[in-house]
Amino acid sequence: MSLNAKRVSLIFLFGMSVIFAIQVAPGCFTIQKIPLGYPQDMGFSLVCSDVTGEYVIAQIVPPEIEVPGCESYRSLPDTSWFKIGEGETLYVDSTGYARSKMWVEIPQKPELYNQHFVVRIYVTSSANGIFQPAIMVNYFIETPALAEPPVPPAGKLGVAPSVLNIDPDNPVMNFTIYNNDSVAHKYDIAVRTPIKQSRRFANVSPAFSPIPDTSQISISPGQISIPPNDNRSVHIRWLSVSALSESSEAILLITADDGTQNFVRVKLEIEN
């Protein structure tokens, strides 16, 4: 297997998740612009410390198991796309750590552009006892944005492009919402502030700051109804660009009437 570690444009990770005797790092990460069609090395390892026992089991939670708590990301539809070492069992080394490389390989399919996936990893210790140490970590994967995909983006609620790079001299753009369901839905579009370190919502991109005032973005329409297997365009304008002193990012959160969510990153880069 030939792994590529240079094509990912943006990556940020933070923290450690701790429960009972297990510590897992990174506790969360977001990786953007993950290339499609070949294996991509994450460039860092899954590390478990303070392990009671000889090994830990790191299992990727299958998409059919609902795990609440992550806004606007959907489960990776095929767990074989994400790899942890050579299998689920990670043995503790002489230093007391269990380590493993991680990589992802998302197929080269046009419907897999503009995607926001979450990989949930459930880590348990081999120790026996009344209490079985266990912890779950969330890893977020975002595929490249494509403004005019030849087929609707995968998922019941699709968007394209998933990233809008605003021109400061002409801060007006459009994106498309896709209703890939068999029934009509009504969608609300709201401007949200990305989080700097979140295990549940979209993190702010590197080199950008959260938008200082969400009212700076105008959306038209703010609510839209879309027939089944159809799409509609949404118009946005970034107001008061001259008032910005640094590159800023906002999140357009799209919520369907059945609770399904997706989002679009809106970025405006300021050259200092």
> Residues 64, 177: one domain?
no
- pLDDT in the model for residue 131: 60
Question: Exposure of 243 by Cβ count < 10 A (0-12 exposed, 13-18 middle, 19+ buried)?
Answer: exposed
Q: Identify whether residues 260 and 175 lie together within a single domain.
A: yes
Please tell me the pTM assigned to this model: 0.89
CA atoms within 13 A on the CB side of 81: 23
Indicate whether 116 belongs to any domain.
Answer: yes
Answer yes or no: is 58 within a domain: yes
pLDDT number for residue 130:
57
Residue 109 region, left (φ>0) first, then alpha (ψ -120 to 50), else beta?
beta
Q: Tens of pLDDT along 130-142?
A: 566 778 888 999 9
Looking at the structure of the chain, the number of domains it has is: 2
Q: Are residues 109 and 207 in the same domain?
A: no
Q: How far from 203 is each of 12, 120, 157, 181, 208, CA to CA, in Å?
A: 9, 17, 20, 28, 10
Q: Is residue 149 part of a domain?
A: no
Residue 171 lies in a domain: yes
In a domain, 2, yes or no: no
Whether the link from the prior residue into 161 is cis, omega within 30° of 0, is yes
Closest listed residue to residue 249, CA positions, set 220, 187, 206, 218: 206
For the chain, residues with pLDDT lower than 70 are 1-21, 51-52, 67-69, 127-132, 197-198, 272
Within a domain: 150: no
Supply the pLDDT for residue 7. 41
Domain of residue 201, CATH code: 2.60.40.10
Question: Residue 211: what pLDDT?
Answer: 93
Instruction: Give the domain range for residue 98.
Output: 10-142
Domain shared by 216 and 115, yes or no = no
Q: Which of 69, 35, 64, 258 is nearest to 157 (CA)?
A: 258
pLDDT at res. 3: 37
